[in-house]
Amino acid sequence: MQTEGDEIHVITRNRKARHEYEIVDTFEAGIELRGSEVKSIREGKVSLNEAYAAVQNGQVILLNMHINPYKMAGHQELDPLRPRRLLLHKKEIRKLFARTEQKGLTLVPLAIYFKGKHAKVELGLGIGRKKYDKREAIAEAEAKRRMNRATLRNLKRPE
């Protein structure tokens, strides 16, 4: 059961990820942030466009996530593209390591959100799509949209 403190507030989504990858499984992970990075994320000054995650030395690291520096921060200057550690249970890390090594799957961040007061990232375990797969997915989505529109039109017609 969700309490009021566990309210989810989505900051940003990686729309490109679901187009580039076929997502097999998803995980929720906390993000280890420093100083004013949390305030920048709350303002929406974060980008997941080129971001990906990797398992290194028994830890899951989020790479290439860009967090703009917070304007009101004092003297502390942090690298906007610095690697950030993701907070997962050891069992989950071992599972992710095994799946990314054996099957050639990639860890892709899908969304950043706040769950209560904690910053979280939704990680997707994805298989890279080929160009023809992307075209096929677009065609399927378009066909689905057309069918939904047609059914809505038929429902709205008075008989």
Average pLDDT of the chain to the nearest whole number: 86
Domain segments of the chain: what residues?
Answer: 8-128, 130-159
- Who wins on pLDDT, 156 or 24? 24
| pLDDT the model gives residue 86 | 94
CATH architecture of the domain with residue range 8-128: Beta Barrel (2.40)
| pLDDT the model gives residue 84 | 93
pLDDT > 80? residue 12: yes
Which tokens go with 10?
A: 């989505």
| For the chain, percent of residues with pLDDT exceeding 90 | 36
- Who wins on pLDDT, 138 or 28? 28
Residues of 144-155 as b/e, b for ≥16 C-beta within 10 angstroms? eeeeeeeeeeee
- pLDDT (tens digit per residue) in 51-108: 999 999 989 999 999 998 888 776 667 788 899 999 999 999 999 998 888 777 889 9
The residue whose two tokens read 């249970």 is 89
- Who wins on pLDDT, 96 or 2? 96
pLDDT > 50? residue 1: no
Which tokens go with 44?
A: 């929406």
| pLDDT the model gives residue 5 | 58
Those residues with Cβ within 8 angstroms of residue 23's Cβ, 6 or more apart along the chain or in another chain? 17, 108, 110, 124, 125, 126
| pLDDT the model gives residue 159 | 58
